[in-house]
Amino acid sequence: MTTNTVSILRIDSSMRQHGSVSRDLANVTVARLRAELADPEIVWRDLKSGVGHVNSAWRDASLGAAAARSAEDRALLAQSDALSSEVDRADIIVFAVPIYNFSIPAALKAWIDMVCRNNVDGATAIGKTDAHRYKHAIVILTSNHTRAGADDEFATGFMRFILRFIGCNDIDMVDATGLANDKEGILRAANCQIDAICQTVARRNLSAAAE
């Protein structure tokens, strides 16, 4: 791997392993990015396998100074450190996000708490933005009935805020919502969106690597 290698982080948050539209579209997205880019690094984080949740011991460990943490504290924060490192390393993050009960899955919210751990209690706003590092997010939003942008849809706005917060300069949303109404047409449109987004993202990353 060279210093110009593009790193892609894929995050799946569907609890379904088979028959998941968000996973299928993420497969398409990563395959097209791989075809557009020169041997990218792919890191896959499947939240179906589980992610830790904030509890009292975890919160106490996160608040202490790094140098003063015990071995137990470091163990409690190990997953959080690993997830944050994956985000920091990524040039492109692909999120596969099915809408559960009008918003994001609980596992994805837990992932966000692990990555944005300094802001769990909302007392501070310590973002991860690095003005010198370009980072692009592609969010694949799926649902059977809830439509993106509707009054009862709370995933889009939250994801946009969080992704800007963790340092994503550009955010693209692939709208594959309302599948119960016209699955074939919606998937066809989503694939067209993915094609266009991947071409643009690849051009931007290849251009940045050449600078």
HEC states along the chain?
CCCCCCEEEEEECCCCCCCCHHHHHHHHHHHHHHHHCCCCEEEEEEHHHCCCCCCHHHHHHHHCCHHHCCHHHHHHCHHHHHHHHHHHHCCEEEEEEECECCECCHHHHHHHHHHCHHHCCCCCCCCCCCCCCCCEEEEEEECCCCCCCCCCCCHHHHHHHHHHHCCCCEEEEEEECCHHHHHHHHHHHHHHHHHHHHHHHHHHHHHHHHC
Kindly list the domain boundaries of the chain, sorted by start residue. 7-210
Q: What is the pLDDT of residues 143-164, one digit of tens each?
A: 999 999 999 999 999 999 999 9
Q: What is the pLDDT of residues 22-80, one digit of tens each?
A: 999 999 999 999 999 988 999 999 999 889 999 999 999 998 888 999 999 999 999 99
pTM of the model: 0.91
Percentage of the chain surpassing pLDDT 90? 76
CATH 3.40.50.360 fits domain 7-210: yes
**pLDDT reading at 132 higher than 60:** no
Q: What per-residue confidence (pLDDT) applies to 3?
A: 57
